[in-house]
Amino acid sequence: MITPTPPTPFDVAVDQLVPRLMKEQNALSPALLENLAAIAPTSIDGEDLAEHGRDWWPIAIGWAAAGQVPALASVIVRPETAEQVALVLKACNEARVAVTPMAGRSGVCGGTIPLRGGVALDLCALNEVHEVDEISETVTVDAGMFGPDLEAHLAGVGPGYSVGHFPQSFDLSTVGGWLACRGAGQYSTRYGKIEDMVVTLTVALPDGRLIDTAGTAPRSATGPSLTQLFVGSEGTLGVITSATLKVHRKATAEARRVVSFDSFDAGLEACRRILQRGATPAVLRLYDVIESMRSFEVDANVLIVLDEADPHLLGATMAIVDEELVGARNEDLAHVDHWLSHRNNVSQLAPLWRNHVVVDTIEIAGSWKDLSGTTERLLATLRETPGTLTASVHQSHAYSDGACCYFTFAGRPTPEDGEDQLEAEANYYNRVWSAANACIISEGRAVSHHHGVGLHRAEALVSSLGAAHEVLQQVKTALDPHGIMNPGKLGFSEVSK
């Protein structure tokens, strides 16, 4: 049995939240529990609660390896319809009980940790495809459907369709999670991030109302986009219960290229030129020497190019790619197959943490003008933190105006006086992230490109957005005046009870 003890604090915010949680977690009244059970299936099983008390936040993997759970809800509720979601929220809002929406729990920022106990709202039972519109090329699907199930369904319709959204967490994540965290798939250069794919949402609000955020028209001038307000809101404003997403016919042609450069900067420049000429190959991933050696055993900066499209469009795209890669060294095309077969493999995370190697990733977004300098300075920041063993980078998602760079660091901290191993790991983790966030904010880059914010980056988000975060807080207060929705996330202030 996993013991639900509070983890070692790694920053002030969590240090303040967790001890209070452990005292408040059983605050639900018998009447509320009975009411929730009448609305939808519930569970208070200890193992079930423990599993719903964590996600794939790397430091939580370390806690799990030590038999600890960051936080526990009092009850898990598993609604099967949007109407049940709305009724659960209404009941919890009236009782002033926290609700933490979740499904695959594949996030890496602590976004589904139930910091205030209360209700863990498991949306996995909302898993139906309601309509595939082959004429308009859209799909309407429940928020709890997992990626492989959605793609399998679409592949069997007509000529075969796809959303084109393939995050590393594809097997573990759901449509609602993609939207709530504003995620990106590995083919985003062609198909866009999830916010580019969404047409409209159905959302349950804290007071129990169900709303559709837009009509079915492809474009409108009908005021600010409520759809985009909820995309990226991480369950803090309401619960996404279903979405209409764009789909496309399965591509009929594919092309691949693998080249290498003497410098990472030369590779970034080639990517910029390709995109600014209007070519958008689905995959345009550039790895530094460390990651190229680790993944491909190539002692250079490797660029993987993979595209899929109509043959005429594909030919034009790859013609531009080939012109802009003149002078780069050709590498084995088999590296693309290797990447495809290993791209979602995260099996080494837990063993590394069990062996006291602290591992995590940091993804930022920046304009082409400043990306190279920021990359160099952030790598230096990571490597200069005492205890760091290695730090590396690849460019994973690219656009005409800039790109996402994705950093990986690993460290093996040694306990100092008065520290045990868990404390040493947590303190090292905090030092690395504090230094990295300070660097990112000082450079004026986005503190997250596709992992979201959750609890982990909440403080950084507040610092990064400045006065704009105050506006977000006002929106939060208007929609969720009692602060029941996913407390502690996105840097929103707590409501006094």
Residue at token pair 């290498």: 260
Q: Both 259 and 245 in a single domain?
A: no
Residue type, 196: D
Burial profile 312-338: b = 16 or more Cβ within 10 angstroms, e = fewer: ebbeebbebbeebbeebeebeeebbee
Residue at token pair 């062609």: 190
Domain ranges, residue 369: 349-452
Q: Both 335 and 359 in a single domain?
A: no
CATH code for position 179: 3.30.465.10
In order of 136, 137, 220, 447, the CA distances from 216 in angstroms are 10, 12, 10, 32
Residue at token pair 């605050």: 27
Any residues with CB less than 8 A from the CB of 34 and at least 6 apart, and which? none
Name the H helices within 446-485: 458-465, 467-479
pLDDT of residue 420: 84
pLDDT of residue 24: 44
Question: Helix, strand or coil for residue 492?
Answer: coil
Q: Both 149 and 203 in a single domain?
A: yes
Q: Is residue 475 part of a domain?
A: no
What the block records as the tokens of 132 is 């595939």
Q: Both 225 and 289 in a single domain?
A: no
Question: Helix, strand or coil for residue 355?
Answer: coil
Q: Is residue 462 part of a domain?
A: no
What the block records as the tokens of 193 is 């991030």
Burial profile 184-194: b = 16 or more Cβ within 10 angstroms, e = fewer: bbbbbbbbbbb
For Cα atoms 173, 177, 179, give the angle at the middle one, nearest 5 degrees.
130
pLDDT of residue 419: 83
* pTM score, whole prediction: 0.92
Q: Both 301 and 390 in a single domain?
A: no
Measured between alpha carbons, how far is 427 from 10 in angstroms, rounded to an integer? 6
In order of 72, 280, 286, the CA distances from 277 in angstroms are 51, 9, 18
Question: Helix, strand or coil for residue 5?
Answer: coil
Name the H helices within 121-241: 147-155, 175-180, 188-191, 194-197, 226-230
Asked if 201 and 213 count as a contact pair (C-beta separation under 8 A), the reply is: yes
Q: Which of 177, 115, 109, 114 is nearest to 456 (CA)?
A: 109
Any residues with CB less than 8 A from the CB of 62 and at least 6 apart, and which? 353, 358, 422, 425, 426
DSSP string, 19-65: HHHHHHTT---HHHHHHHHHHS-EE--HHHHHHTT--S-HHHHHHHH
pLDDT of residue 491: 95
Q: Is residue 2 part of a domain?
A: no
Measured between alpha carbons, how far is 96 from 373 in angstroms, rounded to an integer? 47
Question: Which strands sit side by side in the sheet containing 99-102, from one edge to the other?
Answer: 42-43, 75-77, 119-122, 99-102
Q: Is residue 444 part of a domain?
A: yes
Measured between alpha carbons, how far is 66 from 485 in angstroms, rounded to an integer? 29
Q: Both 228 and 263 in a single domain?
A: no
Last residue of a domain, one of 290, 313, 342: 342
Beta bridge partners of 253: 309
Q: Both 64 and 159 in a single domain?
A: no
pLDDT of residue 9: 31
Residue at token pair 């009850």: 75
CATH code for position 73: 3.30.43.10
Any residues with CB less than 8 A from the CB of 372 and at least 6 apart, and which? 264, 265, 268
Q: Both 395 and 362 in a single domain?
A: yes
pLDDT of residue 496: 53
CATH code for position 378: 3.30.300.330
Asked if 289 and 300 count as a contact pair (C-beta separation under 8 A), the reply is: yes
Q: Both 39 and 98 in a single domain?
A: yes
Beta bridge partners of 372: none
Angle, helix 368-384 to helix 264-276, in steps of 10 degrees:
150
Q: Is residue 290 part of a domain?
A: yes
For Cα atoms 178, 184, 190, give the angle at the middle one, nearest 5 degrees.
130
Q: Both 152 and 95 in a single domain?
A: no
Question: Sign of dihedral through CA atoms 147, 106, 458, 407?
Answer: negative
Write down the number of H helices and E strands in the chain: 19, 18
Q: Is residue 485 part of a domain?
A: no
Q: Is residue 224 part of a domain?
A: yes
Alpha-carbon torsion angle 158, 159, 160, 163, nearest 10: -90
Question: Helix, strand or coil for residue 197?
Answer: helix
Q: Is residue 464 part of a domain?
A: no
pLDDT of residue 15: 39
How many domains does the chain contain in total?
A: 4
Last residue of a domain, one of 322, 342, 362: 342
Q: Both 412 and 390 in a single domain?
A: yes
Question: Sign of dihedral through CA atoms 412, 418, 421, 423?
Answer: negative
Measured between alpha carbons, how far is 467 from 179 in angstroms, rounded to an integer? 25
Strands 99-102, 119-122: pairing kind: parallel
Residues of the chain with pLDDT under 70: 1-27, 496-497
The DSSP call for residue 449 is: S
Q: Both 151 and 177 in a single domain?
A: yes
For Cα atoms 195, 213, 220, give the angle at the middle one, nearest 5 degrees.
75
Last residue of a domain, one of 220, 249, 278: 249
The CB-side HSE value for 12 (13 A sphere, CA atoms) comes to 4
